[in-house]
Amino acid sequence: MSKIPVSSVLWKCGLRDICLAALWLPLGTLIFCYVSASIFQPDDIHETHCRVYNVVPSISAITGISPQRYLWRISIAFHLGPRLLIGSLYYNYHKERASRIADEKARKEATKLSLACYWLNLMEIFALTGVTYVSNRENYFVHEKIFIVFMIVSLLHMLCRARVGCAGADLPPVRTNRLVWILFYVAIAATIGLIVFFLRHRLFCRPLAFTWFSVCEYILATANMAFHALVVRDLPRHQIFVVQPLCKND
């Protein structure tokens, strides 16, 4: 890699700080939406289509009412930039790791997995954007379909990251690879529970079925946030610089 002569550093920031800010912004907003909606708008967030008893509101419910929906959309808007940056960094990180695999077949597989992770991350970001800006109250049909896409893509992203992290018998696994597998299995279990309780609620209108659906949804969201926060352990000392290049005329 060629080096560009630099006259000055205009700005620098640790990748860890950017990642933690990107994580805490939506997480803090989600907690605020839950607490404020539970205190001031309990009837709106606990309402279900078949009028059964419900205790825990869904994420869509607490982020789909006003004014919480606007705070949630603002937080996701600021969240998307760092997510795109992290996705590109992870792609280069895994591609560089794959280049050091001695076995050609394993190296090609790891390269393909790193590319798949990159595109799945982009699809996950677009799905998150869609499910955020098209609320269930505005267009339930579209919101539901985008949410399904988000679940599928996020699980595939986790699986690809877990596999690429242990690709190559001659290289040690990525330091967070074990945690990625654990979070993947937690997300799978939460997804299964989410589907089961959703069907029990929709088809049979069972009391508290939607409550358990919401619990599974929060577990899935927590696993997803923790998965993306692992970058602070994979790339703990990396920094981002904005520099002034040294021109020949200077």
Total domain count for the chain?
1
* Residue 49 placed within a domain: yes
In this prediction the pTM is 0.90
* Residue 21 placed within a domain: yes
Angle (CA) 35 56 142, round 5°: 95
**Boundaries of domain holding 190:** 6-240
Quick: pLDDT tens for 170-191: 889 998 999 999 999 999 999 9
Quick: pLDDT tens for 118-176: 999 999 999 999 999 999 889 999 999 999 999 999 999 999 999 999 998 888 999 89
* Residue 83 placed within a domain: yes
* Residue 246 placed within a domain: no
* Residue 250 placed within a domain: no
Least confident of 41-50, 172-181, 202-211: 41-50
* Residue 245 placed within a domain: no
